[in-house]
């Protein structure tokens, strides 16, 4: 858990007092975490969805009085609860993912860790990759190469550009930038990311078979996925493309049947 997330609990009372003074404390209360939703109807789920949408619209415009980072953490925690609410998402989908993403970025565009769940939730499960790329572009204006793990935002952006926008030229630029940014960090993960990103950028420059490009992109999604739902989707997509997928404890690789 990030330092900002851990600080949430120690600072929650001051921010709640601030919010209460603005007359919106009721709208900002967390839903009951242990609510039994086994008998939830679609009408009830849609009503809950609308309430969350209204709350997010208020949060976007809410003055932060120096608590922007804390409020972004709170919104992200609420998103995790929303995203992980299987019964409700089965009934309404993930349509609010882009709203959560936009609100978090508006409050704290430097909250790097939030991108790694909000971006795939918006593009993969809410079906809005254009919005996902747009929000990453906005946030990247405030993030530097030296920021820990910031290079991975460029990787997520490249994946959306490859898988959904079909813009291999933009994707190549994103991979190249990811490689440059990763070199600022002296870790094994960053070095591997830099090498693979540069290789992928060079690969895209050769106008390769589209199926192999797609399968390779889904392989990257699988590698960096932070949840089982995303990994399962990536694995399914690779197999649908006809790729031979090999998964070991150390790595995952894809190969098209006709590839030498």
pLDDT(33) > 70: no
Question: Residue 258: what pLDDT?
Answer: 65
Q: What is the pLDDT of residues 70-86, one digit of tens each?
A: 999 999 999 999 998 98
pLDDT(176) > 90: yes
Three-state DSSP string of 179-212: HHHHCCCCCHHHHHHHHHHHHHHHHHCCCCCHHH
pLDDT(18) > 50: no
User: Phi, psi at residue 25, to the nearest 5°?
Assistant: -60, -35
Instruction: For the full predicted model, state whether its pTM sits above 0.85.
Output: no
Range with lowest mean pLDDT among 24-33, 161-170, 241-250: 24-33
* 221 or 68, which is more confident: 68
Nearest Cα to Cα of residue 220 among 178, 167, 183:
178
What percentage of the chain reaches a pLDDT higher than 70? Answer: 84
Question: Residue 35: what pLDDT?
Answer: 55
Between CA 4 and CA 220 the distance in angstroms is 28
């Amino acid at each position: 858990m990030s330092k900002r997330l851990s600080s949430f609990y120690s600072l929650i009372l001051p921010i709640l007092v601030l919010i209460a003074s603005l007359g919106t404390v009721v709208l900002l209360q967390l839903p009951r975490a242990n609510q039994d939703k086994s008998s939830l109807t679609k009408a009830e789920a849609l009503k809950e969805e609308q309430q969350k949408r209204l709350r997010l619209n208020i949060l976007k415009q809410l003055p932060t009085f120096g608590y922007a980072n804390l409020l972004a953490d709170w919104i992200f925690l609420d998103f995790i609860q929303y995203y992980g609410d299987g019964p409700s998402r089965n009934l309404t989908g993930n349509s609010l993912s882009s709203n959560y993403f936009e609100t978090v970025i508006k409050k704290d565009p430097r909250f790097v860790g939030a991108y790694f769940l909000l971006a795939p939730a918006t593009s993969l499960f809410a079906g809005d990759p254009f919005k996902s790329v747009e929000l990453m572009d906005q946030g990247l204006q405030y993030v530097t190469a030296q920021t820990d793990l910031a290079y991975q935002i460029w990787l997520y952006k490249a994946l959306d550009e490859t898988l959904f926008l079909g813009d291999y030229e933009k994707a190549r630029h994103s991979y190249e930038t990811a490689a440059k940014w990763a070199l600022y960090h002296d870790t094994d993960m960053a070095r591997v990311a830099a090498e693979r990103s540069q290789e992928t950028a060079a690969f895209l420059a050769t106008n390769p078979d589209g199926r192999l490009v797609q399968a390779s992109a889904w392989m990257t999604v699988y590698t960096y996925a932070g949840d089982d739902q995303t990994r399962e989707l990536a694995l399914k997509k690779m197999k649908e493309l006809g790729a031979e997928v090999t998964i070991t404890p150390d790595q995952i690789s894809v190969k098209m049947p006709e590839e030498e």
